[in-house]
Structures are given as C-alpha cells and as structure tokens.
C-alpha cells in the first residue's frame, strides 16, 4: 500500500515536471520573439505574427489535451451520443487533411463503405481520426501515401489508418499510447495525441492498437462495437 502510494506520488511529480517542460518551449519562443519585436530587431510582419500565433495555438492545444485527459482520469469526460454515419465522417475528416497532404505530396487513399452507422459522439470520433491522421501524415515521408479503411461487420466497425513511413521501433510499440511518450525527433509533438485516442476509444467501449504493417509503415486499428457497452 505504502509502495503504491509512493509510486502514485512519483508519477504525479513526473507528470507535473513533464507538463512544465512542454510549456517551456513555446513560452521561450514567444518571449524571445516578442522582446525582439519590441526592441526593433524584427519588423512586425504577417509572417512574424504567424510564428507567434502558432506558438499560442500550441499552448492552447496542450491546455485542451490536458483538460481532456484529466477529465477522463476522474471519470468526468462524458460523451454526447447520437446516430453517426462513420463513413461520411471519415471522408469528411480525410478531406480536411487534403491541403496538409498535398503540401507534402502524400496521397490520401480512402476506402469506406456507402454508410457505417454507429451510436457515438461525433466530435470525439472526429478527434480520434484527426489525431491518428495527423500522426500518419507527419511520420510519412514526402511522396508517400496514407490509407484510410473502414470496414463494417455485423457487430463492429473497424477503422484502419496505414501509412508508409518508417513504422514504430519494436521497443516503442508497447508505449506509444502512454502520456507524453514520443520519439526524440522534431516530427513529434507533446506525446498526448495517442493517449487521448485511447481514452476516447475506451469511453466508446472500443479498442485501439498499433502495429507495423507487413508491407511496411505503421498501422493503427480502432474497433468500435456498433451497439457496445458504453462507459458513461
């Protein structure tokens, strides 16, 4: 008992230290550039303001991600359920990534049935897909491709997002859904995206897994029961 309390306390301290670390980078950039603008080192220009805005957006996203995870921790993240056509939603989310994909010359392939109705929280489902697609695009090299496939079975809907990047190192695979777990390269963000995916999928009574595909690249699979037990 004392041991597990001590472990919890260590985890809490580590998390706080990690959050502080994640906040520091955008704050340092903001502080440095705003001071430089004030001192006339740079001219105020749309491109300079875009850099400042990007850093504030990063901070806003971090705050929102942390809010979702702490609500999930205390069982207060609730779903707004409705009848959702996952096929239409999937096409729509993929379309919202088109510009990003084109900029990198990455082909987005979509294979979805005519419809795939499920009782789910549309906003949260969109977030699950967006987080997975965001990763797939970031970890796919220029000229690559990302495949999005939706399959309906009598009792479940399976979403698969398969990229043709480098895949995930064997030692990283068991940890990619852990909070703040990320690779040490400049492609990574805060390491919260997949932790949020896992929480949201679990809240829907589903499962998410990561693997390396036989043809290369990473593949993420989300399985949602069409009439699953929803933990609300």
Q: Which residue has the tokens 């491709």?
A: 145
Strand order in the sheet with 156-163: 107-111, 145-152, 156-163, 218-225, 207-212
For tokens 């990283």, name the residue: 172
Q: Which of 165, 193, 206, 217 binds Mg ion (CB under 5 A)?
A: 193
Q: How many residues bind ligand ATP (CB under 6 A)?
A: 21
d(CA 147, CA 149): 6
Q: Convert residues 192-231 into a mask of x (bound to ligand ATP by CB under 6 A) and - (unbound).
A: xxxx----------------------x-------------
> Residue 134: phi, psi to the nearest 5?
-60, -45
Q: How far is residue 71's CA from residue 77's CA, in Å, rounded to a whole number?
A: 5
Q: Closest separation between CB of residue 28 and ligand ATP, Å?
A: 18
- Contact call for residue 139 and ligand ATP (CB under 6 A): yes
- Which among ligand ATP, Mg ion, none contacts residue 206 (Cβ within 5 to 8 A by kind)? none
Q: How many CB atoms lie within 10 A of CB 79?
A: 19
Q: Does 106 bind ligand ATP (CB under 6 A)?
A: no
Closest to 190 in 3D by CA, of 176, 200, 177, 180: 180
Contact window for ligand ATP (CB under 6 A) among 47-55, 95-103, 117-125, 160-168: 160-168
Q: Which range touches ligand ATP (CB under 6 A), out of 24-32, 39-47, 117-125, 186-194? A: 186-194
Choose between 118 and 146: whose C-beta lies nearer to ligand ATP.
146
Q: Going residue by residue from 166 to 185, which x/- string records binding to ligand ATP, judged by CB under 6 A?
A: --x---x---x----xxx--
Q: Which is nearer to Mg ion, 117 or 212 (CB)?
A: 212
Cβ contacts of 19 within 8 Å, gap of 6 or more: 66
Binding flag, residue 191, ligand ATP (CB under 6 A):
yes
Nearer to ligand ATP, 113 or 174 (CB): 174
DSSP 110-178: EE--S--EEEE-HHHHHHHHHHHHHHHHHTSPTT-EEEEEEEE-SSEEEEEEEE-S----TTTGGGTTS
Q: What are the two backbone dihedrals, phi and then psi, of residue 132, each rounded to the nearest 5 degrees?
A: -70, -40
- Nearer of residues 148 and 195 to ligand ATP, judged by Cβ: 195
Which residues of the chain form contacts with ligand ATP (CB under 6 A)? 131, 135-136, 139, 163, 165, 168, 172, 176, 181-183, 188-195, 218
């Amino acid at each position: 008992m004392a041991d597990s309390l001590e472990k919890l306390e260590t985890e809490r301290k580590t998390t706080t230290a990690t959050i502080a670390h994640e906040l520091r980078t955008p704050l340092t950039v903001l502080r440095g550039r705003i001071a430089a603008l004030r001192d006339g080192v740079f001219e105020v220009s749309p491109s300079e303001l875009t850099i400042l805005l990007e850093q504030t957006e990063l901070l806003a996203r971090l705050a929102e991600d942390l809010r979702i995870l702490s609500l999930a921790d205390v069982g207060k993240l609730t779903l707004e359920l409705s009848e959702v056509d996952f096929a239409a939603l999937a096409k729509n989310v993929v379309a919202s990534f088109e510009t990003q994909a084109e900029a990198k010359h990455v082909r987005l392939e979509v294979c979805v049935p005519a419809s795939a109705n499920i009782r789910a929280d549309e906003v949260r489902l969109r977030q699950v897909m967006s987080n997975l697609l965001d990763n797939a695009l970031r970890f796919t090299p220029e000229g690559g491709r990302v495949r999005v496939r939706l399959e309906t079975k009598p009792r479940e809907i399976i979403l698969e997002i398969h990229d043709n990047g480098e895949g995930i190192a064997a030692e990283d695979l068991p940890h990619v859904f852990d909070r703040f777990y990320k690779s040490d390269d400049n492609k990574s963000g805060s390491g919260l995206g997949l932790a949020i995916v896992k929480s949201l999928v679990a809240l829907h009574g589903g499962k998410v897994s990561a693997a390396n595909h036989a043809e290369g690249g990473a593949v993420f699979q989300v399985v949602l029961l069409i009439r699953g037990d929803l933990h609300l």
